[in-house]
């Protein structure tokens, strides 16, 4: 039986009252040196669902893959790569939305000093942002757990197609319409039973894993330190579309607050970081960030 990772939190204390007044955020951005921390909520307007929102994958009883399950069970790897084979191609069709473009525009203007993203979709970079730290990695890369060689996901896609020439026709009859935030789709057991997983071409035996941080896996410490340096060198932290449920992102909110930096959040719904925030704006992100850019430039 698959067990559910710890993906929820219960608010304690008086809730932070949400606002729709962007004045404080506009003033912080206009002053410059803003670090951005983005989550899955930023990509929902690009058609990629989040985990915890009203239409999030957790509400559809989707259980994201855990590191322990992936590394410990051959069937889990088969299931993951079969489902990812369908979902990854849909992810590559996603395009940056107004929120991504707004962040890139503010970065180009020198007002955003860097982006820490919890997303694995590459949409910040596709929108033109350059200083992006992919906290949880990227679905565009694959890593061998044996020799640690990195390779391109498109290369693996080609190899999996060759190894499973009839799979997609079979899977298409079963697959769910939605792609999950971790880049897979729901498929029944009968659709993945014959799916063949391929090994690393460099060492011939290594297990291939997407270069993303699974639930239950630690973010590489050097990447965490890079994020800490970005926050430490900033004048404010702007959180976009994250409930901050998991510690990998929440720790930077706590760092900023402890250093006396204003923490400003735009998110649909309460977050685990509200207790450290000066303000939380509850507006659709594309709308909010477009308005921030317009007011900053006015």
Strand order in the sheet with 279-281: 132-134, 112-117, 34-38, 236-240, 263-266, 279-281
Q: Which two tokens stand for residue 6?
A: 């710890």
| Look-up of token digits 């020439």 | 165
Pick from 153, 100, 120, 129: which is nearest to 51 by CA?
A: 120
Catalytic residue among 62, 100, 124, 136: 136
Q: Which two tokens stand for residue 273?
A: 């970081």
174 given a catalytic annotation: no
- By annotation, the residues acting in catalysis are 136
């Amino acid at each position: 039986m698959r067990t559910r990772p710890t993906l929820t939190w219960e608010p304690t204390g008086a809730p932070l009252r949400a606002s729709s007044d962007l004045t404080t955020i506009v003033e912080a951005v206009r002053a410059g040196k803003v670090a951005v921390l983005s989550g899955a909520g930023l990509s929902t307007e690009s058609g990629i669902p989040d985990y915890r929102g009203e239409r999030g994958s957790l509400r559809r009883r989707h259980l994201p893959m855990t590191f322990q399950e992936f590394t410990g069970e051959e069937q889990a790897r088969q299931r993951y790569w079969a489902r990812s084979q369908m979902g990854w191609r849909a992810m590559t069709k996603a395009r940056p939305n107004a929120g991504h473009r707004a962040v890139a525009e503010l970065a180009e203007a020198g007002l955003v000093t860097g982006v820490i993203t919890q997303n694995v979709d590459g949409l910040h970079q596709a929108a033109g942002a350059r200083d992006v730290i992919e906290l949880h990695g990227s679905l565009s890369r694959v890593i061998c757990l044996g020799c640690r060689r990195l390779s391109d996901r498109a290369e693996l896609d080609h190899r999996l197609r060759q190894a499973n020439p009839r799979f997609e026709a079979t899977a298409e009859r079963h697959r769910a319409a939605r792609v999950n935030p971790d880049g897979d789709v729901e498929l029944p057991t009968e659709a993945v039973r014959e799916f063949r997983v391929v090994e690393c071409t460099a060492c011939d035996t290594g297990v291939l894993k997407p270069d993303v941080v699974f639930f239950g896996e630690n973010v590489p410490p050097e990447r965490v330190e890079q994020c800490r340096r970005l926050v430490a060198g900033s004048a404010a932290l702007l959180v976009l579309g994250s409930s901050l449920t998991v510690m990998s992102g929440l720790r930077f909110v706590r760092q900023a607050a402890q250093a006396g930096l204003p923490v400003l959040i735009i998110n649909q719904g309460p977050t685990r970081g509200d207790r450290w925030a000066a303000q939380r704006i509850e507006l659709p992100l594309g709308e909010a960030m477009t308005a921030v850019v317009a007011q900053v430039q006015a």
